[in-house]
Structure 1
Amino acid sequence: MIEIEPSHDVRPAPARTIGASDSDRDRVPTPALTSDQLLGGLRAVTIEHEGTHYVLRATRNGKLILTK
């Protein structure tokens, strides 16, 4: 498993306010990661979430695809 450690350039994502509920506005913004940080120079990585494995792939056109 690849461990991702936040670097000094990880910045919070902007808070969303359009159509946000009161509980959404009270949330702390989540850190933003680059695709390079997620993929670590690879074309694809497996992400385990709640016991299910997903594959995050980078396409030749620079898009990201997440499949189950």
Structure 2
Amino acid sequence: MSHESDAPDPHAMPNAPSSSLRLPAGPGMRTCPTGIVPADFLFQGSQEILISHKGEHYRLRITKNGKLILTK
């Protein structure tokens, strides 16, 4: 009996090819994204998210006018 669910993965990007979800090949290496990450996917209904990068924390928020602002 399978333990897998038929429910969609809440972390999967809709309509995105799996190749666009690649992680870097190794420490310090980057891969070029082949797709676009929709803001709706990142924010999931909220107006701001926190991003951790190299031990620093950043806040990405959507303004009342629909613009994105990134602050440290």
Confirm or deny a common fold (TM above 0.5).
yes
Question: Highest relative contact order (Cα 8 Å, sep 6+), 1 or 2?
Answer: 1
Deviation at 1:29, TM superposition (A): 3.7
Answer yes or no: is 1:10 the counterpart of 2:16: yes
- In structure 2, the CA distance between the partners of 1:8 and 1:36, relative to structure 1 (3 Å rule), is closer
**Unmatched tracts of structure 2, length 5 or more:** 1-9, 21-29
3-state SS in 2 of match to 1:6: coil
How high is the TM-score relative to the length of structure 1?
0.61
Which of 14, 31, 34 is residue 38 of structure 2 equivalent to?
A: 34
Question: More strand per residue: 1 or 2?
Answer: 1
Superposed CA RMSD in Å reads 2.3
Identity of aligned residues (%): 39
**Unmatched tracts of structure 1, length 5 or more:** 13-26
Max radius of gyration: which structure?
A: 2
**Preserved CA contact (<8 Å) 2:13 2:41:** no
How high is the TM-score relative to the length of structure 2?
0.58
C-alpha distance in structure 2 between counterparts of 1:57 and 1:8, whole Å: 22
